[in-house]
Amino acid sequence: MTGPRCLIVDDSAAFRDAARSMLERGGIEVVGIACDGSEAMRRAEELHPDVALVDVDLGAESGFDVAERLGGIPVILTSTHDEQDFADLIAASPALGFLSKFALSPGAVRDLLAARTNASPNT
């Protein structure tokens, strides 16, 4: 099964490892990981992922800024915090959407990607 190619951007090695394992079991190919915005930009340029999972809080960096810098790559923002804590920032960002780290699953990633694909500018 060929699933979407994913880049995981998170400053927690434990989360990166757990997310990679869970997503790959669900048919999503994790092509790379990054711990900060600079590494995310390098990995995105070399790997051309279909989607990037970006933690909202990357230590000294904002995941919202990283989402902006990733340009044409669809971004799904993640956090252990509730979506409502960031509702205005998420709405103003170029991200496809937000998934709580506790709700992250291959199906949820696919659903957000499908919503983007099915969105029509004519509706």
Q: Is residue 90 part of a domain?
A: yes
Domain of residue 18 covers 1-55+75-104
Q: Is residue 79 part of a domain?
A: yes
Q: What is the mean pLDDT of the segment spanning 87-104?
A: 93
* Residues 42-77: tens digit of each pLDDT: 999 999 999 999 999 998 899 999 999 998 899 999
| Count of domains observed in the chain | 1
Q: What does the radius of gyration of the chain's CA atoms come to, in whole angstroms?
A: 13
Per the model's pLDDT, the better-predicted residue between 122 and 22 turns out to be 22
CATH of the domain at 20: 3.40.50.2300
Does the pLDDT at position 120 exceed 70? no
**Please, which pLDDT band fits residue 116 given cuts at 50, 70 and 90?**
confident
The kind and range of the H/E element at 108 are helix 106-118
Q: What is the end-to-end Cα distance of the chain in Å, rounded?
A: 32
Rounded distance between C-alpha atoms, residue 120 and residue 38, angstroms: 33
CB atoms within 10 A of CB 111: 14
Rounded distance between C-alpha atoms, residue 38 and residue 15, angstroms: 19
Alpha helices in 2-121 (DSSP H): 13-25, 37-47, 63-69, 87-92, 106-118
What DSSP state is assigned to residue 85?
G
User: What global pTM score does this model have?
Assistant: 0.91
